[in-house]
Structures are given as structure tokens and as C-alpha cells.
Structure 1
């Protein structure tokens, strides 16, 4: 049986933990961090990674089968 192709976009955005949870970066942090009504505390918090919701976990794991 042939190998499954990995989704290139998902490969760059998600990683799996040892326990099988899916880790992701938070949205609204990659740009627009100067001004725009965000407090320094909020911007600091957005740097941290978070776990993807369990409802999306199966779909993400299908996209990154060998990670």
C-alpha cells in the first residue's frame, strides 16, 4: 500500500506531543502587534502555543500521518 501524502500546510502549523495531543500557535499574533488596541499582557499571552480542540484533532492527525 502506498504512503499517504502529508498536508504541507498542516506540517508547518501543527506538531504532536508525546501524549498524542496536537499543539498549535495562536491566531492574531503573527502581525498587527503594534498598537491596534492590544495590551502588552495580551500580546505576551498570544506568544504561547496552545492545544488544538479535540473536535479537530482527528482531522489534523490525518493531515500529518508521519509526524
Structure 2
């Protein structure tokens, strides 16, 4: 059976914490920033954890068992 490959897009978008949780960036911070408030843009800069409902899909893309 061949080895499974990690999705290239996923390995660029996700990173791990020291305890093994998966971090992600916020969406909506790349364009059309003029209509967003300073507070909204500032809060989109930070990273957050992947939600539990998406965790299985992200782990499958990263080939984690």
C-alpha cells in the first residue's frame, strides 16, 4: 500500500501548538479591508484553534491518525 501524502494546501495553512492542538488563521483579512473597522481587522490578525467540528477533516488532510 502506498504512503499517504499530506495535502500541500493544509500544511501551509495549519500549524501546531506545543500540546498538539492545531492552530489556524482567521479568514476575511486579505482584501476589502476599507469597510472593516480597526477593531475587526486587529482581531483577525491573531491565530485561533481549529474547531472541534472541523478537527477530523483537518487531521485527515494532514495525515494524522
Q: Given the two structures, how large is their TM-score scaled by the length of structure 1? A: 0.80
d(CA) in 2 for partners of 1:64, 1:15? 10
Higher relative contact order (CA 8 A, sep 6+): 1
d(CA) in 2 for partners of 1:10, 1:20? 16
1:55 aligns with 53
Q: Given the two structures, how large is their TM-score scaled by the length of structure 2? A: 0.82
Greater than 4 Å deviation, 4+ residue runs: none
Gaps of 5+ in 2: none
Give the secondary-structure state (helix, strand or coil) at the position aligned to 1:59: helix
Give 1:28 deviation, angstroms.
0.3
Gaps of 5+ in 1: none
Matched, 1:22 2:22: yes
